[in-house]
Amino acid sequence: MNFLYYFCRYRGIFLVLGSVLSACSQMPVVQQEPEEPLPLVGSVVLHRADEIPTQDRLLEVGVLIFDAQDNSQGKYQLGDWVFDEIIQKETRFLPHLLASTLMESNQWGAIRVIPETDPSLDLFVQGTIIKSDGLNLVLEIQAKDSTGREWLNKIYADEAGFSDYPESTRFTLDDSFDARNYTDPFQDIYNQIANDLLAVRADASDQSIANINSVTDMTYASDLSPETFAHTLTEGLDGYLTVSSLLARNDPMLSRVADMLYRHHLFIDTVDEYYTTLYDDVKPAYVLWRRYSIDEIIETETNKQQAQTNDYGNSSRFLSLSQRYDRFKWSKIFEREFIDLASGFNTELAPAMLELNNEVHGLTGTMEQQYREWRGILKALFELETAQAEN
């Protein structure tokens, strides 16, 4: 049974049930809540450029697959593993939302979602999902350029409301999902991250941007052939990389590096397309899961408040005992259905995740393994072509 089946079958129960165990009211990612509430980003307008910046101000950006906050030290309860699995899937398609926002801003060069740090890109953005339950999203975002300079190290939080989940998100088997007119409830977070990155770049001098580009070029060349290009980079007293020496522009080695770079970028473009396809495939089920999750959280909180105000709460009368037992019984039933629903969500996503890890250009293994295998192939090819040119 798929995810939509579970939702449709038990929709009536969801609206009637009175109480839900707090362990299942949210996806169990956060083990310790912050001592003070995190400030919410609120409503954020994305800074868009009418025209793309000049070439000397462009940086190519890699958005890495997110991490999830470790739950290994926390206390697991019934069904927690199901929700942790959902979080693990979010780490692979939430980065797409950030990358899409950066592209929409029209402020950067090529932007790609990638499985790990890549020596051919200028700026890397990586995140950790601290909390994600449909009602709240908390992300820790870090960004560094190829020189090692930190651009961002900040926690972003926002809260969604019912207005962020219009009735169109309550689609059923007979009412298909309208992806074109759907806006992510937490789009403001991605807008704020994009604006913050832009503010850092705006403060950078042309010389700083040029140095980042040069360091990236030599970092990629050094990754292909350390013995040939390692001497071109120097780490300063501040810990940041700079280019200390360059080969002549007409050096055939640079031509071969450029050729490898072109092939590599074609490959990571394909990787990015796979992550985009993954997001498109899972979006309907993910939206429905989020909508249900926020309904359930608010319903649970409402029933908790009602339970505290009912005058039979501390009574020993038979009616009180009966009502309390019914509440307990339904909460247990609902707990089981909630876990089944989460399992259905994971099952719904399984084909898309499997497709992501299928062969790309003859490579095998997970996307991460294919990525490393491809870089190894290019290194070997570069060494072979260099050896042939020298003979």
Q: In sequence order, what DSSP letters do the residues of 204-238 get, joined into one string?
A: S-HHHHHHHHHHHHHHHHHHH-HHHHGGGEEE-TT
Q: How far apart are CA 183 and CA 204, in angstroms?
A: 32
CA 377/CA 371 separation, integer angstroms: 10
Query: Whole-angstrom Cα distance, residue 355 to residue 381?
Result: 28
Q: Is the model's pLDDT at 12 over the cut of 50?
A: no
- Per-residue pLDDT, averaged over 178-191, amounts to 87
Find, among 75, 70, 63, 39, the residue nearest to 122 by Cα: 63
Give 336 or 298, the one with higher predicted confidence: 298
Residue located via tokens 């997001």: 279
If pLDDT is split at 50, 70 and 90, which confidence band does 289 have? confident
Please state the rounded mean pLDDT for residues 207-216.
Answer: 94
Model confidence, pTM: 0.75
Q: 127 lies in which domain range?
A: 3-390
pLDDT at 276 over 70: yes
Residue 353, Cβ neighbours under 10 Å: how many? 18
Under a CB-based contact definition with an 8 Å cutoff, are residues 250 and 213 in contact?
no
How many beta carbons lie within 10 A of that of residue 83, not counting itself? 24
Of 62-71, 217-226, 318-327, which one has max mean pLDDT? 217-226
Task: Enumerate the H helices of the chain as residue ranges.
Answer: 3-16, 80-105, 187-203, 206-224, 226-229, 252-309, 318-356, 367-390
Higher pLDDT, 135 or 162: 135
Compute how many other C-beta atoms are within 10 angstroms of the C-beta atom of residue 246.
13
Query: Which of 156-170, 291-305, 333-347 has the highest mean predicted lDDT (pLDDT)?
Result: 156-170
Model confidence at 307, in pLDDT bands (50, 70, 90)?
low
Residue 24: is its pLDDT beyond 90?
Answer: no
Q: Count the domains in the chain.
A: 1
Please tell me the distance from the alpha carbon of residue 249 to that of residue 373, in angstroms, as a whole number: 30
Q: Please tell me which residue, 32 or 222, carries the higher pLDDT value.
A: 222
